[in-house]
Amino acid sequence: MNDSRTQPTSHYDMDKSETSSDGAAALVPPDLEAFFDEEPIKISAFLRALKVAQRRRFEAPDIEAAEAKISKNDPEGARLWLLVSNARQSDAISGWLWPYAMRRIGETVGAGMDVAEMGPADVLNAVIETLSPGLHCSDKHRFKAAQFQLRLTLLWLLEKRNLDPVLAAEALRPLFDHAGAADRELRRTLARGSLQEIKAVVTALTLSDQKLRAALTDRDSERRQKLDLRIRLESSEKKQQENALRIAALENECSRLLEVSRAERKRSENADKHHGHDLTEMKAYFRVFMGERLTTLLGDAFDGLAIEIERSGQNGVTGLRVAQRRIRNALDEIEEALR
């Protein structure tokens, strides 16, 4: 008897003890390709299969086969969005989803642009420009496909590229704001929307108000900074003018002192010349005086002493000779000075 309970199970079969009350969950393979087969698989069963199989990542052949089936079996992105919504519950799903989302967004904006190098707001604007015809067309399938791609782009940019929500809303505004439609849509949502929709609207308005207040605060702060810089600049210019005047005054004073110094130097040189001339005349006078008169007087005195010595007796000779020697010494010194 061929009892399936005694046969070896495949790599994706689960033991019944690990299944829920729905025994069909045991037949769900934990492969990405299987999730995008023609027959849809419940997301709960797929997550359960991944958990039981302890699948941490999908293999490359499985990924390649699954991505080839997405455009055919999930053109509007309904199944892919189920994986997006549950990506945090499985490492395998999140590990494949975000790189795939980036590649898909790159295909949307075109091969000439690298979404990894572009700013998040630029990526969103490029995607909106590409998807705009589909978002405004009457073809239901094309509209849903464009809508999904836009949602996937927004999620990736917000989760992985830290896109500013206000910038996102600003970029999306042309898609929805048409001649007062924003006011009507807000009224309709507040009057007839669900509590979740009302909460989303209020949250968006609150965020916009916070951003506006922050922008006004930044603007006021920038104005104060500009005013402070202007005051500092005017003060600096005033100090520069004062310093320029002070420098000019110092330069004039320096020029005046330099002229005074030159005049004093010239006067000193002239005084030195006059002093040298006077000194020369004085030396000449003393030379004449000492050479002619004083020498003559001393010479006469010396001769007179010599005669007196001859006349004097022995007692006065000694004193006279001393006087004679002193006169002789004086004459020798005078002669030496006049040389």
The pLDDT tens digits along the chain (339 residues) read: 333 333 333 333 333 334 444 444 457 899 999 999 999 999 999 999 999 999 999 999 999 999 999 989 999 999 999 999 999 999 999 999 999 999 999 999 987 889 989 999 999 999 999 999 999 899 999 999 999 999 999 999 999 999 988 888 888 888 876 656 777 777 777 778 788 888 887 887 787 788 778 888 888 888 889 888 888 888 888 888 888 888 888 888 788 888 887 887 887 777 666 666 666 766 666 666 666 666 666 666 666 666 766 666 555 556 666 666 767 766 676 666 656
In a domain, 250, yes or no: yes
Q: Are residues 16 and 158 in the same domain?
A: yes
Q: Are residues 282 and 235 in the same domain?
A: yes
Instruction: Supply 131's token pair.
Output: 């998807």
Separation CA 300–CA 290 (nearest Å): 14
Domain boundary among 152, 179, 206: 179
In a domain, 279, yes or no: yes
Q: Are residues 146 and 241 in the same domain?
A: no
User: Would the pTM of this model clear 0.85, i.e. be above it?
Assistant: no
In a domain, 312, yes or no: yes
Q: Are residues 135 and 257 in the same domain?
A: no
Per the structure, the complete domain to which residue 120 belongs is given by 10-179
CB 104 within 8 A of CB 39: no
Q: Are residues 155 and 249 in the same domain?
A: no
In a domain, 232, yes or no: yes
In a domain, 294, yes or no: yes
Helix ranges (H only) for the chain are 32-35, 43-52, 60-73, 78-85, 91-109, 120-135, 140-160, 165-176, 181-192, 195-288, 295-311, 314-337
Q: Are residues 18 and 129 in the same domain?
A: yes
Q: Are residues 172 and 43 in the same domain?
A: yes
Q: Are residues 151 and 268 in the same domain?
A: no
